Amino acid sequence: MQHIYLKKKIVLQFYIFRMKKILITGGAGFIGSHVVRLFVNKYPHYDIYNLDALTYAGNLENLTDIDQKPNYHFIKGDIVNGEFIQKLFEEHQFDGVIHLAAESHVDRSIANPMEFIFTNVVGTVNLLNAARLIWKDNAERKRFYHISTDEVYGSLGETGSFKETTPYRPHSPYSAAKASSDHFVRAYHDTYGLPTVISNCSNNYGPNQFPEKLLPLFINNIKHSKPLPVYGKGINVRDWLYVEDHANAIDTIFHFGRDGETYNIGGNNEWRNIDIIKKLIEIVDAKLGRPAGTSLPLITYVTDRAGHDLRYAIDATKLKTELGWEPKIKFTEGFEKTVDWYLANEKWLDNVTSGAYVDYYHKMYDNK
Ligand code: NAD
Ligand code: DAU
């Protein structure tokens, strides 16, 4: 492993002096905000441009601790607008792109697939076109990094795990759109020689996640003693990774990954939904000073998600052996930190759960 770290150090020095302008898309969202924070703090020599349309999931409050730093720049804009993207790239001549902007919630994709095709597919191709144009004469030391999901691989049975070579078999409009964007990224590498890299990660958890996703939604509902809508029998399995571990993996792959390659990222941490929900109830009840088991009766089994993938599991051997990355945050530590953050950041939760969110919640859950 020693040689990996020495090589990393040398390559990093090289990049720090060569790479200057990095575009991060979706930097006001959940994972994007952690990536922006990491890059702004760790690489003061880089100028970090956060491009975000500030949809319901984008929130500049996620970045108040770094938004005054001189190497941070925010641009409000929509990746679906090809003309705007082209001009932006011509103006700034970015050296690298880390592309996280997406419609990311499976349930919303079932209700409204078109948004997912526009942002996840058309938006990604707009970015690829713009990068291709500005790097056409010199793609040396440039990098287009596309952040994707394990959901493109489909669903597993009781055993096995997704490898980078696992054939794509997406089941939801969300994962089909992400799969399509992955194919375009590879096609631009193979056809035009664009220096691309892709990673496919499992479920993230941590601070700043919009509370329509399982964990923040359930923390908020437990706190307010509202029903916890468990889809189907609650036996679906997800692999959970702390969001800062994902951000560190992205840093590693961005700097050291090989062009044209794909890297799987996972937490080695599989949970059945019902088990992680019971664990969450135990921790939140304890932190709220309620007797053990108080919130268990809130569990409410509801109609299953259509096309609900049974199990995801990641084989991240390639990332470990090639680039030396492994998750660092133990689940018990990350989980406690996550719960503490949502309980301490009541104002953040209240802000994002007011207004349009209320309509969304009724539409999604009232008929279940
Ligand atoms: P998120 O929904 O929290 O954030 C998405 C961000 O993209 C928001 O800030 C939003 O405003 C922005 N955005 C949406 N449409 C846009 C557009 N048309 N133009 C510009 N900006 C736009 O998502 P997340 O959970 O942080 O996921 C980020 C990326 O990571 C996505 O590509 C997702 O597919 C991928 N991913 C997520 C997970 C997870 O567990 N959350 C796991 C693996 C991969
Ligand atoms: O695997 C990576 C993916 O993880 C990312 O690509 C997605 O962007 C991200 O949203 C996440 O997708 P999931 O569908 O797995 O996450 P979600 O939090 O929506 O659901 C997690 C599990 O919990 C899933 O099996 C569905 C279930 N669930 C979810 C909600 C919102 C419920 O049982 N009840 C709920 O109310």
Say if ligand 1 is within 6 A of residue 80 CB: yes
CA of 94 to the centre of ligand 2 (A): 33
Say if ligand 2 is within 6 A of residue 104 CB: yes
State pLDDT tens for residues 209-258: 999 999 999 999 999 999 999 999 999 999 999 999 999 999 999 999 99
Q: Which of 24, 37, 55, 182 to mutate to test the pocket of ligand 1 (most atoms within 8 A of CB)?
A: 55
CA of 13 to the centre of ligand 2 (A): 39
* pLDDT band for position 297 (cuts 50, 70, 90): very high
Q: Is the pLDDT of residue 20 over 80?
A: yes
Q: Is the pLDDT of residue 12 over 80?
A: no
Atom of ligand 2 nearest to the CA of 212: 31
Q: What is the pLDDT of residue 359?
A: 76
* Closest ligand by atom to 217 CA: 2
Q: What is the pLDDT of residue 26?
A: 98
Q: Is the pLDDT of residue 358 over 80?
A: no
Q: What is the pLDDT of residue 367?
A: 72
Atom of ligand 1 nearest to the CA of 55: 11
Q: Whose CA is nearest to atom 20 of ligand 2?
A: 214
Q: What is the pLDDT of residue 353?
A: 85
* Closest ligand by atom to 33 CA: 1
* pLDDT band for position 29 (cuts 50, 70, 90): very high
* pLDDT band for position 58 (cuts 50, 70, 90): very high
CA of 69 to the centre of ligand 2 (A): 34
Q: What is the pLDDT of residue 18?
A: 57
Say if ligand 1 is within 6 A of residue 211 CB: no
Q: What is the pLDDT of residue 5?
A: 60
Q: What is the pLDDT of residue 120?
A: 98
Q: What is the pLDDT of residue 278?
A: 98
State pLDDT tens for residues 256-290: 999 999 999 999 999 999 999 999 999 999 999 99
Active-site residues, by number, are 150-151, 174
Say if ligand 2 is within 6 A of residue 172 CB: no
In the predicted model, what is the mean pLDDT of residues 29-43? 98
In the predicted model, what is the mean pLDDT of residues 299-328? 98
More confident residue, 186 or 14: 186
340: CB partners within 8 A, 6+ apart: 287
* pLDDT band for position 362 (cuts 50, 70, 90): confident
Q: What is the pLDDT of residue 9?
A: 61
Tokens 């997912």 belong to residue: 116
Determine the Cα–Cα distance for residues 215 and 278; give it in Å rounded to an integer.
11
Q: Whose CA is nearest to atom 29 of ligand 1?
A: 100
* Closest ligand by atom to 170 CA: 2
Atom of ligand 1 nearest to the CA of 33: 26
Q: Is the pLDDT of residue 13 over 70?
A: no
Say if ligand 1 is within 6 A of residue 178 CB: yes
Q: Is the pLDDT of residue 2 over 60?
A: no
Say if ligand 2 is within 6 A of residue 46 CB: no
Atom of ligand 1 nearest to the CA of 150: 43
Q: Whose CA is nearest to atom 14 of ligand 1?
A: 102
Q: Is the pLDDT of residue 295 over 70?
A: yes
Q: Is the pLDDT of residue 6 over 80?
A: no
CA of 78 to the centre of ligand 1 (A): 13
- pTM summary value: 0.95
Backbone dihedral angles phi then psi of residue 200, each to the nearest 5 degrees: -120, 115
The region of weakest confidence among 55-64, 150-159, 349-358 is 349-358
In the predicted model, what is the mean pLDDT of residues 81-86? 98
Q: What is the pLDDT of residue 16?
A: 54
